Amino acid sequence: ALVGTCNPAILAAGKSIRWVQVYNAGVEDCVSVPALRERGILVTNMQRIMGPVIAEHATAMMLALTRRLDAFIPAQRERAWRPQAAEGRLTLVEGKTLLVVGLGGIGTEIARRGHALGMRVIATRASGRTGPEFVSYVGLPDELLKLASEADVIVNATPLTPETTDIFDADFFAQMKPTAYFINIARGKSVVTSALVDALENGKIAGAGLDVTEPEPLPPNHPLWTLPNVIITPHVAGRSHLGFSAQMDVVVENVKRYVAGDRMLSVVDVARGY
């Protein structure tokens, strides 16, 4: 077994490796190693514990944007009582439509929280149209643009694969409502950054919450830093007070299951890349 690092050199040296446990939810770098498929190596990740944490971060971004905290926090720093800073765009999410792009483990947790807030939840899923009862419609990836036109908040929860690279492009942002928000807690490379900047600068969308970017980290002179309708966090959506101990709990449990021959937690479909 290999715990933690997954790269070609280690797998080549470890001829007897049959299982890889990674510490992240995203596994695009790991599953790109040919030896995994060639040798039928089992891969597990941290989706089980990171799903609720990342979902809370996405929800926090959504509420911060719809309640325009991005406008009020700078005013607070200036000690300015400025109710007009929201420009009449304070939004109630109850009754609004949330589109979760990628209804996997993390996406399902995001959908659960949106439903709890009274939102109509729709989603896309590459593996089929099945979903929990709190998701009113599950579409396939080729329905993304149609569903985007219905949504008030869109959250990217897709894993990074060749199929999801650059899917949020100019055509996608053109389909969004000018009052809608885009949130990305998955991977920056799923977004054509220049198209996102254009949509934000020209009022094609209302704002964005970004925990991941392309490039990452953003260079100091990048326009996303200074746009007034953007909230950026430095790829921390998966962090919480649970710390590393929660990850180790998963590792320990999976070691027990591996030795006993039981079903493992958070098994990755290497062929699909997530």
Q: Which residues carry out catalysis?
A: 187, 216, 235
Residues in the chain, overall count: 274
Tokens at 112, concatenated:
């659960």
Give φ, ψ of 182 to 5 degrees: -115, 130
Residue 239 is which amino acid? R
Cβ neighbours around 4 below 10 Å, total: 12
Tokens at 86, concatenated:
């929201």
Instruction: Kindly report the three-state secondary structure assignment for every residue of the chain.
Output: CEEECCCHHHHHHCCCCCEEEECCCCCHHHHCCHHHHHHCCEEECCHHHHHHHHHHHHHHHHHHHHCCHHHHHHHHHCCCCCHHHHCCCCCCCCCCEEEEECCCHHHHHHHHHHHHCCCEEEEECCCCCCCCCCCCEEECHHHHHHHHCCCCEEEECCCCCCCCCCCECHHHHHHCCCCCEEEECCCHHHECHHHHHHHHHCCCCCEEEECCCCCCCCCCCCHHHCCCCEEECCCCCCCCCCHHHHHHHHHHHHHHHHHHCCCCCCECCCCCCC
